[in-house]
Amino acid sequence: MTTERKALPVVNTERCTGCGWCVAVCPPHVLSLGVLRWKKFSQLHDAPGCTGCALCAVKCPFDAIAMVRQPAPANHRPR
């Protein structure tokens, strides 16, 4: 288990068109397409498996992915 802080992709479902580019480029295959109210969108289905590489955010043609740094677990915060 890693204790270092990493950024995870957060998908803006308003902007996401469900094109699947991010799913295709993700090296560990932790993104998949889901359906919400008949609209496809990208979702992170395995957050611990995400390396935080940001390839998905770079590749998204619609600027729908933001990399958001996750807070460190309480017992690993610097004093």
Q: Which residues contact ligand SF4 (rule: CB under 6 A)?
A: 9, 11, 16-22, 26-28, 30-31, 42, 44, 50-56, 60, 62, 64-65
Q: Which is nearer to ligand SF4, 11 or 77 (CB)?
A: 11
Q: Supply φ then ψ for residue 17, to 5 degrees.
A: -100, -5
Q: Which is nearer to ligand SF4, 27 or 73 (CB)?
A: 27
Amino acid letter at 65?
I
Distant-in-sequence, close-in-space partners of 50: CB < 8 Å, separation ≥ 6: 6, 8, 9, 28, 30, 44
Q: Which is nearer to ligand SF4, 18 or 78 (CB)?
A: 18
